[in-house]
Amino acid sequence: MVGTELLDATFAALADPTRRAILARLATGEATVTELAAPFAMSQPAISKHLKVLERAGLVSRGRDAQRRPCRLEARPLREATAWLADYRDYWAESYQRLDALLDELQAVDQTDSARRRSRPDGPRG
C-alpha cells in the first residue's frame, strides 16, 4: 500500500470501537481469535471480519504456532497516523496561543476601560 492508502486504511480501521478494543487487547500481547472474541457479544466469524480490516491496514499480523494462529499488534501504521496528527496538534497549539494573546489584549483593554470609568467624576444629576 502507498503511504496515503495506508493512512486511509489505518483511520478507517480505527473508526470502529470493536477494532480499537481489539488493538488495545493486542497491545498487551498476542491472542487467538477465540481469545479476542471472548469479551464481545459477537461470533468468532464477526471478530475475524474485524481482524481482516485490521490486517489490510497493516495493524495486525497473524502467525502460526503449532495449531494456534496468534494475532499480534503491528504498530508502524499507528506511528504514521500519529505523525500525521502531530502536524494538526501543532496547528491547534499555535491557534490557542493566538487566542490566549487576543484574550490577554481584550482583558487589558477591559481593565483600562474600567479604571477610566472609576476615575471619571459623575456627571450632573437631574
pLDDT of residue 2: 59
CA distance 120 to 92: 42
CA distance 40 to 44: 9
Q: What is the pLDDT of residues 35-50, one digit of tens each?
A: 999 999 999 999 999 9
Q: What is the pLDDT of residues 103-119, one digit of tens each?
A: 989 998 888 888 888 87
| Straight-line distance from the first to the last Cα atom of the chain, in angstroms, rounded to the nearest whole number | 82
pLDDT of residue 1: 59
Judge contact between 71 and 30, C-beta under 8 A: yes
Mean pLDDT of the chain: 88
Other CB atoms within a 10 A radius of the CB of residue 51 amount to 21
Q: Is the overall model pTM greater than 0.85, yes or no?
A: no
